[in-house]
Each structure stands twice: as structure tokens, then as C-alpha cells.
Chains A and B, each alone.
Chain A
């Protein structure tokens, strides 16, 4: 998990993000991936098609391990989308068995 610097936490604007149906107050400057790393941590961020858990690696648009469902649209690059008030996020952790060879892209 990540936490905010005390001085940042005190003077930054916040928005409400709905993460898997739960409301979360997050800093308005954060990307979706950053907000999740702060609020939710890196566990249970996304299940890869090989059945292994994955979480953001690079945070700068390269690795595509931050893929996440934003406002119903799956596989968005969470590190490139800045949070907006009322945005709905779903972590991509299906309970179903992985499909071998299926691409997430």
C-alpha cells in the first residue's frame, strides 16, 4: 500500500471513486492506477490470462499491467487516466478459471 505525504493529504482536493461498488475518497491529481495502489494496494488488482495476479509495474504507459475496468470499459490503461468524481472502477479479478492463451488486450 501507499500513503500520502501529510502535507499533500491536508491541502489537496479529493474526488469520490467507486471501487468495486465501494466509495473511496482519493486525491484529485492521481491516475486510476495510483489511486488504487493507495486505497486498495497491489493485491487483487488484476488477474492475468495465465491465472496469475498482476499489478502496475511502470506507471507511465508502457507495461500495460495496470489494465482495469473504468466506467464499464475493460482493459483501460489505469496509469494514464486521471480520476474523476463519480468514476466507477472494477478490479479485473474474475473468480472464473483462466482461459489459456486468451489475450487481455
Chain B
């Protein structure tokens, strides 16, 4: 019990120290200020081996064996330097924001800038999968670091651990970098068989039919497929020489679907949000427009990818942006 509280105390102190030592930044350069190095298990075994060899040489008064043991000992030190220089001087840049559905693998793109080849780099976010990059060539490279959030919300993935055991595996050389990244996690993508938008949807009179009235400019355009109704063709765009496109929103103009959180048939908020997400994606895939009502916040009807992202982000933030940020802080 005491040990546990002591450990948490130490961790807190250490994390605070780490925050001061390696502050958050989108671009990080690895120097002796933020690189840690310690012998690995193999490194300790190697030291024991060197000592045994020294004893062997001494007991047999065999100078060549003694010389060899000294050589191995100084190889240990050279390996330490090599290990350090394999990380030192790396320049890392990470995208600030990533969005994904809960329990779905996504990745952060990390840009690596290096002036010499680097070997055997392992990237890992806390409690996440590893990414092993066997070699990074001189120049700029991009690596994808896997990330998967368990829960809906806005998450901070924590410090990225970049480690390497190159050159001989005698040392683990690592760093913990805070890129100030954020993961916006949408509700989990699930299929609800009997759920149809009509269950929660109601045609809203207040918001009227005229929301999309602005016309074709609002419409989401996609490649025209043979057999589609002529009325769907975006004539304006065709006239401008943009090719055969069809408007996806035209048919649905006038009967906007309102997706209302409160009307969904579940008691669990998370399930409700998942349903909402499912319905929204259905609408999106069918090219229909929808509006969203979360009670406190409302999104007017619209179609398209941008609209979808906006709505999903709101779901991620639900109940509200500020509150979820608070919850994050408390964590």
C-alpha cells in the first residue's frame, strides 16, 4: 500500500520534472537534453561476460585474453556512444490532430528529418502498439505510428516513446516526447440492424425547407453514373467544363431528416451516440442530407463530408466541448 502510494508519488514528481525538461512542441529535436540511455538486460549480461573473461585471463595469466576483455569493455563504451548518436540529432515533427472512431486503429504521421541513416527505431504511444522502423534514410521520412482509442472523446495520447537498441543491443536509448497531439474519437462504428432514420427523425417545420435553397453550390457532387436520372446531373458544372457530375442532394431537398439524440431507443448515452453515428453514416453514404439535434446544440441540415466531420466531432465532444476538456484535465 505504502509502496504503491510511494510509486505514484515518484511518478508524479518524475512526470512534472519531465514536463519541465521536455516541454510540449510539435517539432522536437533530439539532443542530450531529452535522450535517456541505460544498459539493457543484454548489456548487463555482457558486462558479466567481460568480467568473467577478465577473471579467466587473470587466472591463466594470459595477457591476450586480458587484452580481449579490455577490448570488450571499451566496445561497451563505444556502443553506448553509437547508441546515443543513433538518436541524437533526429528532428521529429508530428501532426497535431487526428480523428478516428473508437476502437478503430488509426495512426499519427510522424515526419522524421535526419542527416544520416538511423537504424532500428521503435515508436510507441503509451498503452499502444509499437511501430518498428528498421532504417531511416538520410533526408525526410514519414512513419505512421499506430493509435487506437478505447473510448469516445477527445484524448491526449501522451508522450511518444522513441527508442532504439541499435547498435549492439547493449543499451536502450530512448526519449519521451510530447507533441501536443490530440485524438478526437468519434463513437464506435456499430451496425444497428433494425434502426432506421425514421425512428428518430422528424421533419422539422421551423427550420424549413429552404436551408438548402442556396442551390447546387451546397450540393455534394460526385461522378455521374450511367443510369442516373437526368435531373441529377449538375448542368452548371458540366457547362463550366468540369465534367459529368451528379448532385446528390437534389432529391432530398425539402424533406430534411432530423436526427435527434433524445428520440433514440436506448437508455445508455454511449449507445445512443453510436446509433446517431450509424444513422449519420447511413445518410452520408446514401448522399442524403441530415440535420442533428443534440438537445443543447443543433446542426442545421446539410450534406457532404465536411458536414459529417463537423457532426462527428460534435459527437466526440458531447456533452459539450468545454466539459469534455475539463474531464480530460481531471484524468
Are both chains from one complex?
Answer: no
